[in-house]
Structures are given as C-alpha cells and as structure tokens.
Amino acid sequence: MRIGGMASGMDTDQIIKDLMKAQRIPLDKIAQKKSYLEWQVNDYRAVNRQLFDFSQNTFNNMILSKNFNYKTVSVSSDDVAIKNMSSSSEFAGNIEVHRLATTTILHGETLKTGSGFSDKNGNELTADKYYNTSLEDLGLATGFTSLTVTTQIGDKSKVEVLEFSKFDSIAGVIAKINEKTGASAFFDSGTGVIAMSAKDSGAGTISVTAGNREGSEDLSSALKLGGPSKSGQNAIFTFNGLQTERSSNTFQLNGFEVNLKQVTSPLVEDANGSIEIDGKTYKVADGGKSVSFTSSPDTDKIFDSIVKYIDDYNNLIEDLNKKIREPKYRSYQPLTSEQKADMKEKEIELWEEKAKSGTLRNDSDISSMLSKMRTVLMGSFGEGEGKMSLKDIGITTSKSYLENGKLVIDEKELKKAIAEDPSKLHKMFAFDEDEDKSKHGFARQIRAVVDETQKSIQQRAGKVGDVNDTFLLGKTLDDMNKQIDRFEERMKMVENRYWKQFTAMETAIQRANAQSANMMSMFGGQ
C-alpha cells in the first residue's frame, strides 16, 4: 500500500492514475483492436455455420434422388395398398391375390389343474397370480432350468438357449422369449395355454426343447411346449401375369412397397389348373378380381422440396449481402472496462451494436462466392437440343437489383416441368458424371462453390476448438496478446518510476520543511 502527499498535501495517487491513463492510451487501442478482431472471428464462424447448413441442405434436398422420386399410386381396390419407396420410374399393372401369408404357430397344452390354477401345494390361484408366481412355488422348477427356442421360417433360422432359475415366473419366461428369440409368446388365462407365433410370416417351424446346459432342468416339458408347430404359409399372387409368392404380405417390387390385405382371386383345387402349390394344381375360382394400379409423380411434394431449397438459397444470399454491405462506424470503437463502468447497460448495448457493425464489410471471399453462385444459376446445363436453363423450368432471377440475384419461381411452369419428367430435373441439379465440373448439375456446382468458401474462411478464422496458431486471424490475436503483455510490463515500470519520482519529491519537501523549521527555531531563540 502506497500513501503519498504527506509532505506536499498533493493527491499523489490520483495524479499518478491520471498520468497512467495517458500512458495506457496506446494499450487501450491494441485491446480495442483485439476485441474487434475477436468479433470478426465469431462472425466469420457464424457465416461458416450457415454455409455448412446450406451445403447439407443442397445435398439432402437437391442431390439425393429421393426428393425427386415422390410418387402417388392409384389402386383400384383397398384389398391391396401400394406406395413408392425408392423407384425413379413409373409403375403400373395389375395384381391378383390368391392367398395371404400367415405365421407359424405353436400351442402348448393347458397348465390348468382341473378347472383352475394352483401352486405346488394345491392352493388355488387366480390366473394373474399363477402367471407371476415363481417357477419353484408352481412346482415347475427346483433349481437351474432352461429351454431352447428354434425358429426356421423360410431361409431365416434362429436358435436361442434361454436360462432361468427357480425364482423366475412364467411372466419372466415369456418376456425373455419375446425379447431374445424369433417367436412371440403369450399366456392365455382362459385356456391356461402358452401360445407362440413366429415373428416372420411364411412357411416354417417353431420348436421348444430342453436347454443343452448340463445339470439344467427341462423347462419346455414343465411348460408343456413340446408339441409340433403348425406351419404358416407364403402369400401367393399373380403380378402382371407372373405367378409368384412371398413369405410376407408386405414386400417390395421395383422400389415400390406392396401390402396385400385381402384375397381377391381365391383358388380351388383343379387337376387341370395352371397354379401349382405344394404339388397340387389349382385354378382361380369364379368371381375373382384383378386389382389394377398406376403411379405418377407427386408433383406437389417435389415442388415443395424445390421451393424450400430456393427459399433457403434466397435467405442465405439476403443475409450475406447484408453482412458485406453493413456500415462500419469507425467512431464507435470497442469499449474498455473503464468506459463500461461509467455507462448504463442499455448504453453499452447500443454502443456495441454500432461497434460490431461492418466486421465482414466487403469481404472478398463472401463477395466472390455470391458472384460465382449467381453465375452458376444464370448458366445452362447440357448440350445441343438437351441444353436447359433454370428459366426453362420456371425459375428466374429477380429483376430488382436491390434483391441481389434472388430466385423467383413460376409455380405453373415448375409444376409442369415436374409432371413431365422429374428425373430430368434431378439430373439438371445433381449430375456429376463428367470430369469437367463446369458441366455438373446446378446444385453440384453451387455446393462446390460453397464448400470452397467454407475452407477459405476456415483458414482465416478457424472453427470452434481450433487453437489460434492454426488460422490466420488467430495468429494475429496471439501477436496482440504478446503486445499487450509487453505493454503491461512497461506500464508497471512507468508507474513505479512515477512513484519513485513523487516519493523523492516528498522526501525533498520534508527535508526543506525540516530545515525551515530549524531556521525559524534558531531565529526565534535569539
């Protein structure tokens, strides 16, 4: 603690503080430049996040074919449902459903004793109590017990050995069967039977046998699940004149999902029939019907996808054009901590709003990107008679120069182009099969421009988590930090010098005062 002015009566502390304020002016300017640079880094990174999101949207909405494959499917009967999954081509024809697929089932024998349920001591139990009582108390196990559940449906095979203890209940056994095996089981409280069905439909078998672990009890016998299963069957149908079958009532053909709901053309056994099943011949019974279907582009869905992308593009260029044209208020420098201490919170907010303005003004990378994107979209795709521009599908550039190249959609023209050939539009945006990137689709070229700008901005401003010495502005920040450290050391030396000077002055004044007092004493003494 320093106390000055004892001899001079001067406020030495305040005088030195005022002198140091003048000395710190260059330091404050460096700190202000550093604050501004940090704002600039943050703004660059915010732009890069926007560009990353737009690049991803370009890929997801305009390059992936699924957004141009939306189709509506008209089916003549509710007995069959058809929807597009991934087909890019149209889909039409008829289907006759002769038999639906069913699942393989296994029904055990009743666990009731007489007309109801009881534990090992003959005590009557409700069905719910029986279901949740331990295997030991039910007399079904005395120690470690297990069973093996095997499902063989078509070419799908699954074998699971399940292990239990006497403390497990029937509820626990069924839960593990449902979780671990290829079958679903339930306990019917009315009949006292455990029933099982394969999780996959189609022809096959379910078997429940003793577990193969040495020393374990046979739980399958205790639960009375050792009987044979009843095989399911495959769905049989005629598709565009071709008789075929599937293990499930829901399957895919040519990228469309078909769901068979009802038999439309029942079969009757006939020695002269044309349909052969399990060594027997059948024909379609009288009164059978054929279900017809046809697909067409879902114009509205594809249109909405393109419109969303165009809106994203317009929002991006509007925001970026604002940033590179944002005014720079040079008279509003970042506030120092001392300046903030003398201002109200709202005043600080309004000041910094001006101070932060223009950090990306006239940025060359962003300006170049906007110019390149506009050039791409004003260009053409393809050659010769197949040459097309966005104008040909109803997408044009705004005539207002104030909108800086925003895209405008003619709904009628775009929907017409979609209805005629959505795959042609997809190629126009997503084509990339030529080494010459200038011949790629519009979306591919736009994405390449955006990704290139992202890399350039990242070299300048880095990304979250990067250390300063890995990007250009970070290195400048490090240099400023070093300047600030050196300046702070110099300020300490200057402040110490001032205190030494004022202390010397105080000492001299004290010495002069002492001499003056001695002289007065001497003259007074005469």
The DSSP string of 274-303 is SEEETTEEEEEPTT---EEEEEEE-HHHHH
Query: CA-CA distances (angstroms) from residue 348 to 148, 332, 358, 376, 501?
Result: 74, 11, 18, 43, 38
Position 26 scores a pLDDT of 74
d(CA 33, CA 461): 16
Please indicate, yes or no, whether residues 87 and 121 belong to a single structural domain of this protein. no
Please indicate, yes or no, whether residues 246 and 266 belong to a single structural domain of this protein. yes
Please indicate, yes or no, whether residues 48 and 79 belong to a single structural domain of this protein. no
Does a structural domain hold residue 498? Answer: no
Position 346 scores a pLDDT of 92
d(CA 53, CA 310): 14
Does a structural domain hold residue 393? Answer: yes
Tokens of 241: 């004149």
**Would you say 125 and 133 are in contact if contact means Cβ atoms under 8 Å apart?**
yes
**CB atoms near residue 201 (< 10 Å):** 23
Strands (E), 355-491: 395-397, 407-409
Q: In the listed set 440, 456, 472, which residue is the last one of a domain according to the structure?
A: 472
The SS3 assignment for 226 reads coil
Contacts of residue 473, defined as CB under 8 A and 6 or more positions apart, other chains included, come to: 37, 40, 41, 44, 460, 461, 462
Please indicate, yes or no, whether residues 442 and 344 belong to a single structural domain of this protein. yes
**CB atoms near residue 62 (< 10 Å):** 27
Position 373 scores a pLDDT of 94
**Would you say 67 and 88 are in contact if contact means Cβ atoms under 8 Å apart?**
no
Please indicate, yes or no, whether residues 450 and 306 belong to a single structural domain of this protein. yes
Please indicate, yes or no, whether residues 342 and 366 belong to a single structural domain of this protein. yes
> Which residue is it, tokens 């994405």?
447
d(CA 439, CA 12): 77
Does a structural domain hold residue 80? Answer: yes
Position 463 scores a pLDDT of 85
d(CA 327, CA 361): 7
Alpha helices (H) in 97-202, listed in sequence order: 127-132, 135-138, 170-180
The SS3 assignment for 158 reads strand
Please indicate, yes or no, whether residues 372 and 396 belong to a single structural domain of this protein. yes
Spatial CA neighbour of 191 closest among 264, 81, 112, 265: 112
Position 8 scores a pLDDT of 61
**Would you say 273 and 282 are in contact if contact means Cβ atoms under 8 Å apart?**
yes
Position 387 scores a pLDDT of 87
Does a structural domain hold residue 283? Answer: yes
Q: In the listed set 171, 195, 222, which residue is the last one of a domain according to the structure?
A: 222
Does a structural domain hold residue 112? Answer: yes
Q: How far is CA 284 from the centre of its chain?
A: 50
Please indicate, yes or no, whether residues 97 and 107 belong to a single structural domain of this protein. no
Spatial CA neighbour of 461 closest among 324, 359, 372: 359
Does a structural domain hold residue 215? Answer: yes
Ranges in the chain, pLDDT < 50? none
Position 101 scores a pLDDT of 95
Please indicate, yes or no, whether residues 158 and 206 belong to a single structural domain of this protein. yes
Q: In the listed set 279, 297, 315, which residue is the last one of a domain according to the structure?
A: 297
Alpha helices (H) in 326-410, listed in sequence order: 337-341, 345-355, 364-377
Position 125 scores a pLDDT of 95
- Domain tally, the chain: 3
Residues of 66-93 as b/e, b for ≥16 C-beta within 10 angstroms? Answer: ebbbbbebebebebbebebeebeeebeb
Does a structural domain hold residue 344? Answer: yes
**CB atoms near residue 131 (< 10 Å):** 18
For 268, the domain range is 71-101+234-297
Please indicate, yes or no, whether residues 242 and 391 belong to a single structural domain of this protein. no
Please indicate, yes or no, whether residues 158 and 89 belong to a single structural domain of this protein. no
Please indicate, yes or no, whether residues 139 and 247 belong to a single structural domain of this protein. no
**CB atoms near residue 388 (< 10 Å):** 17
Tokens of 388: 């097309």
For 333-364, write each residue's pLDDT tens digit: 888 887 888 889 999 889 989 999 999 999 99
Does a structural domain hold residue 258? Answer: yes
